[in-house]
Amino acid sequence: MDAFYASVEARDDPALNGKPLIIGSLPHERGVVATCSYEARRYGVHSAMNIKEAWRLCPNGIYMHPNFDKYRAVSQRLRGIWSGYATALETVALDEAYLDVTQKAGSWENACAFALEIKRRTLEELRLTCSVGVAYSKTAAKTASEENKPDGYFEIRTPRDLISLIIDRDVGVLYTVGAKTKEKLKRAGILTVRDIHERPGDVVRLLGRQGEWITRVAFGEDDRAVMPFRPEDAKSVSRELTFQKDVDDNGFLKDVLLLLSLSVERRAARYGLYGEGVTLKVTYGDMKSLTRSRMVPSTRSAAVIWQETGRLLDALPQRPIRLIGAGLHYLGGENGRQVSFDDILPENTVLRDRAVLEGLDGMKARYGLDFKGNLDRIFHGETLYKTVEYMRKHR
């Protein structure tokens, strides 16, 4: 999709059309740009940019928080369109996916017709534009989809066609070559795809297995299948929050961890997942990040996540914290899950649930908010952020 969040907002509010629209944090807040309109990109603004830098480049832009509930609803409709053409659909994000249309299309010409049909239906049914690449592989399709943005369409039929297109481009055009990898290659004098063709051994010696992959892609090789997302394949479920001012009050941080733990529990339950590891993540005011984990019997209980992340927090140096997060890892489904004490002694679960309810009651007394009656609303992205900021200011 083209500048997805910004395009959805401009679609729903015509006054935003043609304006430099920046979705993410607001200029006076901490945070980054989630996405921005093409008008904002002309000022040099781009996704993941620090919001203060975006403000410096584009002080006359329109800044908005993202509305993820709205974007998820649109994404569901998009997947309804995409799925009709594909035997396998691999979503990359709310606004992007790989579609394997080989069997349904039966020919290159029909695949191209599918792509144009998807573009037409997206515009007619959702009043949004997308850019579609038709190609022989995932890497080539991704490259093709970026070629004529916005509202683009491009075909790459063969490895030779891909090589011809990218041979003299920066190495960053290749899948998995991010900023750090690009810098390593640059220091070795490898700046373009042509350099990789001429020095494949140097790339492999420099980057190991990643170098082998990058070299293959540079020569147009990519046999990865389109893999539909399965919840049981997820490696972790987590939720994190950035504070507008650093916090060094562990009592308050544990209150935030309770809300994050409840959110993680809900996400895990939505996919029928349990975890055997609990994770705490913190980023201090000096931007140093720490992640700590603890093994637990198979669970998705918010009480367990809260209890264990609280213990992990107590073991960390107490310094002002900028970001905190809670998560579950070593995930698996119900089948094959090891029986825990909660299964054998269900009163354990009752006691833990009681601890969560008592925790929420204590937070109500401290902050004057009805957490138990508003959890469904609180867990929405912006509402959770606003709730925690209110708690921080009124603790």
pLDDT at 68: 87
How is the chain split into domains, by residue range? 4-66, 162-218, 231-393
List the beta bridge partners of residue 238. 327
Spatial CB neighbours of 262, under 8 Å, sequence gap ≥ 6: 302, 306, 356, 375, 379
Please give the helix or strand (H or E) that residue 85 lies within, else none.
none
Is-cis flag, bond preceding 20, omega within 30? no
pLDDT at 231: 64
pLDDT at 350: 47
pLDDT at 254: 97
Query: Out of 29, 96, 117, 276, which one is annotated catalytic?
Result: 96
pLDDT at 232: 63
Name which CATH class applies to 162-218. Answer: mainly alpha
Longest Cα–Cα distance of the chain, Å, equals 68
Architecture of domain 4-66: 3-Layer(aba) Sandwich (3.40)
| CA distance linking residue 175 with residue 173, whole number of Å | 7
Fold identical between 4-66 and 162-218?
A: no
pLDDT at 341: 46
Q: Decide if 109 is catalytic.
A: no
3-class DSSP assignment, residue 90: strand
| CA distance linking residue 44 with residue 58, whole number of Å | 8
pLDDT at 18: 95
Please give the helix or strand (H or E) that residue 70 lies within, else none.
helix 68-83
Q: Which of the residues in the chain have pLDDT under 70? A: 231-233, 333-352, 381
CA angle 252, 249, 260 (to 5 degrees): 35
pLDDT digits (tens, 9 = 90+) for 67-123: 988 999 999 999 999 999 999 999 998 999 999 999 999 999 999 999 999 999 999
In this structure, are strands 153-156 and 132-135 parallel, antiparallel, or unpaired?
A: parallel
Q: Does domain 231-393 have CATH number 3.30.1490.100?
A: yes
pLDDT at 333: 62
| CA distance linking residue 224 with residue 139, whole number of Å | 9
| Six-digit token string for 158 | 């063969």
What is the value of pTM for the model shown?
Answer: 0.77
